[in-house]
Structure formats: structure tokens, C-alpha cells
Amino acid sequence: MTAMILKGKTCDWELICGLEIHCQIISKSKIFSGASTHYGSDVNENVSFVDAGMPGMLPTLNEECVRQAIKTGIGLNAKVNKHSVFSRKNYFYADLPQGYQITQFEYPLIGEGFVKINLEDGSNKSIGIERIHIEQDTGKSIHDISPTKTFLDFNRAGVGLMEIVTKPDFRSSEEVGAFLRKLRTIVRYLGTCDGNMDEGSMRCDASVSVRPVGSSELRPRAEIKNVNSVKFVMQAIEFEAKRQVDIYENGGEIEQQTRLFDQTIGETRFMRSKEFAHDYRYFPDPDLLPLDLEDEFIEKIKNEMVELPDVKQERFVEEMGLTPYDASVLTEDRETAEWFEKAARGHDAKKVANWMMGDFFALLNEKKISLAESPITPDNLGKLVELVTSNVINGKTAKDVFAIMAETGDNPEKIVEERGLKQVTDTGAIEKIIDEIIGSNPDNVTAYKGGKVNLMGWFVGQVMKASQGKANPAMVNKLLKDKLG
Ligand code: MN
């Protein structure tokens, strides 16, 4: 449990929070028209007559958007509803040329599910999913070109959205942050949404209320709209909870309302009193038939599912011997997980994980490059680990070889071969060096034999140095002990 408790004068308060997340569906064309969804096109380049709300234009459902939403539903352990219905949500705004949004209301495509989140104290929590419905996105209003006019870009109008609604299960901003990161990981694994909050392809609304600890009532909530980063969502929730506690503690009341988060000052402010569902006059869209799915269609999608992060994480622990922490880091995104699996194939997975999370990630950070740009391939990292486990080189030499790989991108076997870095495991050769060191340092030998046993480290160092770092350290230790008695 990581509940956020707010101390008041009269009592302690707890936070109650639920989320609605709009995720742009990855698809080539829009959800009800053939226009492109490409991000970054010229203004109003991707607008069909349907998207522009021209009279008489009829929407046609894009099957790919349905498939993507079902995939997401399965990824969130949710029920796929075989029967769902598109409705019109009526409201007037300039970025909505039809005068209504096609969405799902009474019968959503996806029903209840859950997402497991990992918290900092090592505990887990399950967050309930209420539903996922699919709908069209609006256009974009541009207010900062002219002081007197608003400009409209309809490229986004009609792009498919999945609206993911959670249950009010969050009790702290930390849980909200963990959930959003987990959700982003899952949709990215699935390839159903790119999860970029700063580009607006994942947008979060948070409903916040507070109540005295121990009570089970649900008080009126404030809905904070369209916050565009995980950090800001967390800040907005913390601010809003404190604001509400202050009002209650001073004898005031909270009314249901919609608020905006101002990221420059870190505060939420009043936007409008909240509208209720009946304000939108929802009714089934007469231009679209109900969506009735066949079992076969759903089964086919289930069979195409990729391995999800939770399952991967478990497998990394159970089959590959990683710690839960290592497994969680290496499964955070699919690319990293797949890179690791490639590198670990046929080698000591735990050692590969250590190299990856240590020197390898440090290298990427230092060079400010992505995994895909890495000069070291997964195969070559696996080979490097193998050279150590099979005693061809020692750990110290491996660090040097790694540095050369980072510069040249070369195969470590080739580097070791060409530069003569193989470790010396020939007893005779090591003994010869040891004899020389012992012979030329009689004082230290006497001191060691007289009880200064920590001189052993010094002897090992000398032998390693004389072998140019290539002697097998375990053998050096053993032989030295034998010879010094
Ligand atoms: Mn919506």
C-alpha cells in the first residue's frame, strides 16, 4: 500500500483517483475514413469529406482500428464484447466539424480488465479497468497565430482513439505514475499506440476527490483535463487533492467540475462546471451498424498477441535466473527485452544481464545513443561473456575488450586473437613469473611469512602486472599461496 494521506486540522484525508486515457490508435488511415493518419503532414493535408463533416458523407469503420483496440483490451486482461454500438456525442465546438463525435457509449467494445503495477517499495497492486471504447479524435485549434482569430487543422479529426477508463482505484500519485508508465509499456509492446504523451498521442484526464480516512463515501470530483506528461499528471493530482482538503477543512464544498493544469505554476484552475452525460444527448449513430464480432475474428487476434511485459518478466526470472529487479528493467521496453534475449541466447543469461545493465547501458548513456545505434551487437556482447565464462580471458581483460568493441564494433573473439589477449592458464608460465617476483622481493616474502598476510594482494598485483593482465587470477592466487606456504 502506498496511500497518500493528507493531514487536516479536523481529520486525515485520503485521495481517490480514476483516470481516462485517450490513446491514438496506430493505423494507416482514420477510423471512419480513408484519409491518412500521418503525423507531421502539412496543415489540412489529410482531410477527407467525411472528416470535414460534409453533409451526406457516410462513415465506414476501419477494421484495423477495431483489431488494435481488441489487442489492447486483451493486453489489459479485459473482456472483449462481441456486441458494441457507435453513438453520437453531440456538442458544438469549432474543431468538431460534424457537430458530434462518433464514440461508444452504452455498449463499449471492451469491458472490465486490470493492470498490475509495480511500486517502489517492491509491492504490486492491481488497477481495475472499467472499459475501453473506440471513437474519433477532434481537429486541433491553433490560437497562437493571430490575436483575433483561431485557426483549425483537421488532420487529426477522425483519427481513431481508444479511451481507456480505469476504476477509481488510485490512492496516490505514485500509483498513477506507475500505471501510466505500465500502460505506455504495454501499448508500445503491442504496437497499438506509440504512447508519446508530449506529441498528444496519449492524453490523460484525472478525476480527483478526497474523503476522510476510514469513510467509504465518494465525494464530488474534479476532472483535470489533458495533461501531457506523467510527471505533470502526478503534480496535478497532488495539488488538486491538497486544494480540496483545504476547502473542506475551511467549511467549504466541492462541486463537480472540470479543471485545467497549468504546468508553469504547478496548479489546477477552474475551466467549467462539469457537464453530465445527458448534456450530450447520446443516441446510436444511424449511419453505422452495431459492431457484432465473430469468435473467429477475436481468436485470430488472440493468437497473434506478442508476449507481454509481465509474462516476459516472469520468464526472465524463472527460466533465465534473473532477479525480479533485473527482469523489470530489461522488460521495460520491447526493444531492450529482445536485444537482451538475443545476447543471452546460449550464454550465461545472468552475466549478460549484468553486462547490459552495467557497462553497456553506461556506454549508451555516455554516447547519448539508442540501442539501435549501438556499435556493440547483441551477438558480440554474448560472445564477450562467453570468453569470460570459458576462461579464455579474465574479467579485467574483458573490460578492455569491451572498450575496444565500443570504439570499433569488432567481434570480441577477433579482438582477443589479434591483440594476443588470451589469458595465461599455462601453470608453467605463471609459475615462472611468480618465481621471478618472489626472487626479487625477499623482504616482502619474509614479511608475509612473518604474518603480514595482507601482502598477498600485493603479490597478486605484481604477477598480474608482469603478465600484462593476462594471467588467470584464480590460478595466480592458488600458485602464490602454495609457493609462499
Ligand atoms: Mn473520449
pLDDT per position as a tens digit, 100-111: 999 999 999 999
CA of 22 to the centre of ligand 1 (A): 6
CA of 275 to the centre of ligand 1 (A): 13
Neighbours of 203 (CB within 10 A): 18
Predicted local confidence at residue 51, as pLDDT:
96
304 pLDDT band, cuts 50/70/90, is very high
Alpha carbon distance 72, 308 (integer Å): 11
Q: What is the pTM of this model?
A: 0.85
Average pLDDT over residues 216-222: 94
CA of 69 to the centre of ligand 1 (A): 14
CA of 100 to the centre of ligand 1 (A): 12
pLDDT per position as a tens digit, 423-453: 887 888 888 899 999 999 999 999 998 888 8
Greatest CA separation for the chain: 102
Predicted local confidence at residue 414, as pLDDT:
94
Is it the case that residue 238 has pLDDT exceeding 70?
yes
Distances (CA, A) of 464 to 47, 246, 345, 369, 427: 71, 68, 32, 35, 14
Alpha carbon distance 210, 189 (integer Å): 34
| Residue pair 423/473 in contact by the 8 Å Cβ criterion | no
CA of 294 to the centre of ligand 1 (A): 26
CA of 297 to the centre of ligand 1 (A): 25
CA of 163 to the centre of ligand 1 (A): 6
Predicted local confidence at residue 391, as pLDDT:
87
* Alpha-carbon radius of gyration of the chain: 31
Average pLDDT over residues 350-362: 96
CA of 458 to the centre of ligand 1 (A): 70
Residue in 218, 224, 273, 257 with CA at minimum distance from that of residue 15? 218
CA of 342 to the centre of ligand 1 (A): 40
Residue in 126, 141, 90, 82 with CA at minimum distance from that of residue 107? 82
pLDDT per position as a tens digit, 120-174: 888 889 999 999 999 999 999 999 999 999 999 999 999 999 999 999 999 999 9
Is it the case that residue 1 has pLDDT exceeding 70?
no
CA of 89 to the centre of ligand 1 (A): 10
Question: What's the CA angle centered on 469, arms 468 and 470, to 5 degrees?
Answer: 95
DSSP structure class, residue 248: H
Alpha carbon distance 441, 429 (integer Å): 19
CA of 167 to the centre of ligand 1 (A): 16
Predicted local confidence at residue 210, as pLDDT:
97
pLDDT per position as a tens digit, 37-96: 999 899 999 999 999 999 999 999 999 999 999 999 999 999 999 999 999 999 999 999
CA of 103 to the centre of ligand 1 (A): 7
CA of 135 to the centre of ligand 1 (A): 7
CA of 225 to the centre of ligand 1 (A): 11
Is it the case that residue 334 has pLDDT exceeding 80?
yes
CA of 301 to the centre of ligand 1 (A): 24
pLDDT per position as a tens digit, 250-289: 999 999 999 999 989 999 999 888 677 778 999 999 999 9
CA of 140 to the centre of ligand 1 (A): 15
CA of 148 to the centre of ligand 1 (A): 29
Predicted local confidence at residue 471, as pLDDT:
85
| Exposure class string for 307-341: b at 16+ Cβ within 10 A, else e | ebbbebbeebbeebebeeebbbbbbbbbebbebbb
